[in-house]
Amino acid sequence: MRVLFCYIAIFTFLCLLTFSCKANSKDRYVEGNIKITEREFAATLNNLPDDMREKILANRAVFLSYIERLIIISEQDGNLIFFPVDRTRRLSATFRPADLLELDREGLRVSRNGMLLRANAVAALREMSNAAAREGLSFLIASAFRTYQHQRSVHNHFISTHGQEEASRFSAPPGASQHQLGTAVDFGPIALTFRDTPEGRWIRENGWKFGFSLSYPENFEEETGYIYEPWHYRYITREGALVEREFFGGLQFLFLDYLAEHKEFFRQRTL
Cβ of residue 232: shortest distance to Zn ion, in angstroms? 4
- Report the alpha-carbon distance of residue 174 to residue 96 in Å, rounded: 13
CB nearer to Zn ion: give 185 or 251. Answer: 185
Q: Count other Cβ atoms within 10 Å, centred on residue 233.
A: 29
Q: Among residue numbers 177 through 196, which ones bind Zn ion (CB under 5 A)?
A: 186
Report which of 89, 191, 99 is spatially closest to residue 143, judged by C-alpha positions. Answer: 191
**Minimum CB distance to Zn ion smaller for 70 or for 91:** 91
Cα–chain center distance at 22: 35
Least separation in angstroms between CB 184 and Zn ion: 6
Smallest gap from Cβ 138 to Zn ion, in A, equals 19
Contact 174, 148 (CB under 8 A): yes
- Shortest Å distance, C-beta 44 to Zn ion: 30
Question: Closest separation between CB of residue 117 and Zn ion, Å?
Answer: 12
Separation of alpha carbons 234 and 226, rounded Å: 14
- 56 within 8 A of 63, measured Cβ to Cβ: yes
> Interacting stretch for Zn ion, rule CB under 5 A, among 98-106, 124-132, 163-171, 224-232?
224-232
Look at residue 109 and give its three-state secondary structure.
Answer: coil
Q: Which of 186/257 has CB closer to Zn ion?
A: 186
Query: Which residue of this chain has its Cβ atom nearest to Zn ion in the complex?
Result: 232
Complex with Zn ion: residue 36 or 154, whichever CB lies closer: 154
Give yes or no for residue 118 binding Zn ion (CB under 5 A): no
Question: Binding residues for Zn ion, how many (CB under 5 A)?
Answer: 2
Q: Between residues 83 and 266, which has the closer beta carbon with respect to Zn ion?
A: 83
CB nearer to Zn ion: pick between 185 and 241: 185
- Residue pair 221/227 in contact (Cβ under 8 Å)? The answer is yes
Stretch that binds Zn ion, among 17-25, 45-53, 67-75, 232-240 (CB under 5 A): 232-240
- Of the two residues 48 and 144, which places its CB atom closer to Zn ion in the complex? 144
CB atoms within 10 A of CB 2: 6
Closest among 266, 251, 234 to 52, alpha carbons compared: 251
Among 146, 155, 232, 234, binds Zn ion (CB under 5 A): 232
CB of 179 to Zn ion, least distance (A): 6
**Stretch in the footprint of Zn ion (CB under 5 A) among 10-18, 28-36, 109-117, 227-235:** 227-235
Closer by beta carbon to Zn ion, 186 or else 244: 186
CA dist 258 and 49 (Å) reads: 12
Helices marked H in the chain — which ranges? 2-27, 38-44, 50-58, 60-77, 119-133, 148-162, 164-167, 198-206, 221-224, 238-247, 252-268
> By the 8 A CB rule, do 68 and 257 touch?
no
Residues binding Zn ion (CB under 5 A): 186, 232
